[in-house]
Amino acid sequence: MRATARVLVYSDDANTREQVRLASGRRPAADVPPVEFVECATLPAVLKELELGGIDLCVLDGEAVPAGGMGVCRQIKDEVFRCPPVLLLMGRPQDAWLATWSRADAAVTLPVDPVEFADALAGLLRKRLTDAA
């Protein structure tokens, strides 16, 4: 298992990025490595980080402006070779169909519920690290 998992967090809202960091803590579950966050507030920053490589998972804010996380998710799934799994933050449970359209690997609602978020994050990290092995 790797020493740390690099998690990209995209939101134009610093409070949302903080909610993600606090909800996962240093390690979202005992059987996954500690997480290191790479925070991005703009789409160009997200694309640059993904181009550099080394990102294990993306958390995208579906409510971000001007580029919403759902559109960003669909774009990176189309454009990034071996795109990391995406955990989408949705404003409403009724937007689950949009999460499916965007090809997100998992979705949770805002505001971030720490237990739900940590479970979803850990599940995607387990799958990613297993697939990479």
* pLDDT tens figures, 26-68: 999 999 999 999 999 999 999 999 999 999 999 999 999 999 9
Q: Which domain holds residue 100?
A: 5-132
DSSP annotation of 86 reads: E
Domain count, the chain: 1
DSSP bridge pairs for 86: 58
pTM: 0.95
Which are the contacts of 63, defined by CB distance < 8 A and separation ≥ 6? Answer: 11, 13, 16, 69, 89, 90, 91, 110
- pLDDT band at residue 1 under the 50/70/90 scheme: very low
Encode pLDDT of 74-121 as tens digits. Answer: 999 999 999 999 999 999 989 889 999 999 999 999 999 999 999 999
Q: For the domain that residue 57 is a member of, what is the CATH number?
A: 3.40.50.2300
Bridge-based pairing state of the strands 57-61 and 35-40: unpaired
